[in-house]
Amino acid sequence: MSDQEKNGVALAEAETADAKPSVFSREFIFGKLLRWITKGGLAVLDYGLISGSNFLLGVLLGRWMSPDQYGAYALSFSIFILVSFLYQALLLEPLSVFSGSVYRDNIRGYLKATVWMHWGISFVVCAILASVALIGRVYGHSPVFPIALTGMTIATPFVLIHGLGRRGFYLKISPGPAAFGSTFYCILVTGGVFFVYHEGWLSAFTAFLVMGFAALVSGIVMLFQLNAALDPATGRPTFRDTWKRHWEYGRWALGACVVGWVPNYVYVPVVSSFSGLAAAAELRALMNLAAPVLQTYAALSMLFLPFAARVQDEGGRAAASSLTKKLAALFVAGALAYWAVIIPLRLQIFHLLYAGKYSDSAYLVPFFAIETIVWSASLGPAILLRAMEAPRALFFANLAASGVALIFGIPATRYFGLRGVVASMIFANAVYVVVAFILHGRKVMTLKSPTLNLSDAVPAD
């Protein structure tokens, strides 16, 4: 190559380098911010389609069902929430963590192993739920609840594997295809509930069947999408090794989910036992108003978890502490904005959603708002503790909140009804936030700050 050609190549390389934006340039920062806004918006859309359809289902059931039927649905759904928490602890949450570390180069093979785990967990869960439904049918006082629980048992494996499929897209922080698959779920749930209502078949049992059918169809759609999107497997992790990793991580997360369910969902069975299924229906109608912000935060938490795992691994103590504060502030600000719109319109919203039903409890909406805002502050340390593979800390934080719910909440519910429920929920979540921040601070202090590699920084002679 001549000197002139070499000079031309060098000039072209220099121009290319100049054209490439610096990491501190405005173009780079805005480009990165735009990508995260887009991905965050798609994650919110994905969860919005799922939670929105479930929210609409709950509202329509509240309008069209008798209080006893709706109370049976609410009680069964609270049990399903517990099941989904356990599933998340043993499968989904470890999946998000290990896909960014141990199995980051073999996600397809890793997902194949987790599918087998799904069916094993589903078999055990369904056997337990079916047994509870049978016992309730024989010895229970209400025939409505066992039938509703039977419908939930049938739908559970399909709803759970739908969640597994959606989580698969988030492993590469790519929520767009998940939102596409969730569109089918939204259409089928909405259309299905209208169909069974107009045919005169609507009940808590058929409502769960509609959910299961919608999850099955949308899950098949996502299966084809995942098959086309994932890189070829470089191997197949054995079921035994995968389960061992998940269990070592998830055993504390499992306990955290159980004690985490108590301060938020134990009140549905408690209220139904003290005041009947109609009171449980009233509590569910109140809880529906918080569902949009809770589901939105679930979407953002799932999106931030792999990112937080990388941040604390690469940035160390300072990066983890900074991200925790930013996430906590973000979630609290979002909750404040949401309830600032809802509270002034609560009476009109109750009338619109429930056709005048349950309006007597609308005065409790501002107190539900306080509970949600307090809980939002805990998401910052909770995400980072999960990213640092420290679910044990969340177990103790939830254990403290559960103690408040059981010791203070049950008698408060017994003597003060829904007012006692809301007061104890605020108290329990405040305790959870304080303990979560304390344990997070202790865990962050164990992280090492990144050190500068002088051999890389100083050029060799």
User: pLDDT tens digits for 167-186?
Assistant: 777 666 566 667 777 777 88
Q: What residues make up the domain containing 112?
A: 37-447
> Over 60: is that where the pLDDT of 151 sits?
yes
Average pLDDT of 439-458? 63
**Per-residue pLDDT band at 311 (split at 50, 70, 90):** confident
| pLDDT tens string 46-75 | 666 777 777 788 888 888 888 888 888 888
- Structure pTM? 0.69
Average pLDDT of 118-122? 86
- Residue 11 located in a structural domain: no
Q: What is the Cβ-side half-sphere exposure of residue 314, based on CA atoms within 13 angstroms?
A: 9
Whole-angstrom distance, CA of residue 352 vs CA of residue 371: 24
- Residue 65 located in a structural domain: yes
Q: How many domains does the chain have?
A: 1
- Name the more confident of 122 and 240: 122
Question: What percentage of residues in the chain have a pLDDT greater than 70?
Answer: 79
pLDDT at 43: 64
- Residue 21 located in a structural domain: no
> Over 60: is that where the pLDDT of 14 sits?
no
Give 381's contacts (C-beta < 8 A, 6+ positions apart).
Answer: 324, 328, 436, 437, 439, 440
Cα separation values, 281 from 239, 271, 342, Å: 42, 10, 20
Q: Which two tokens stand for residue 315?
A: 């940035």
pLDDT at 341: 92
- 172-177 contacts at long range (C-beta below 8 A, 24 or more positions apart): 172/107, 173/39, 173/303, 173/306, 173/307, 174/39, 174/229, 175/39, 175/42, 175/43, 175/45, 175/46, 175/299, 175/303, 176/42, 177/222, 177/225, 177/226, 177/229
- Residue 22 located in a structural domain: no
**Per-residue pLDDT band at 35 (split at 50, 70, 90):** low
> Over 50: is that where the pLDDT of 192 sits?
yes
Burial of 367 (0-12, 13-18, 19+ CB in 10 A): middle
Average pLDDT of 213-230? 78
pLDDT at 370: 92
Tokens 């799904």 — which residue? 118
* Cα angle for residues 308, 257, 54 (degrees, 5° grid): 85
> Over 60: is that where the pLDDT of 10 sits?
no
- Residue 18 located in a structural domain: no
**Lowest-pLDDT range, 29-33, 151-155, 313-317, 451-455?**
451-455
Measured in residues, the chain has a length of 461
Give the start-end residues of each E strand in 215-338: none
- Name the more confident of 30 and 118: 118
Average pLDDT of 442-448? 77
Cβ atoms of 391 and 256 closer than 8 Å? yes
> Over 50: is that where the pLDDT of 17 sits?
no
**Per-residue pLDDT band at 110 (split at 50, 70, 90):** confident
pLDDT at 373: 93
**Per-residue pLDDT band at 453 (split at 50, 70, 90):** very low
**Lowest-pLDDT range, 278-287, 383-392, 437-446?**
383-392
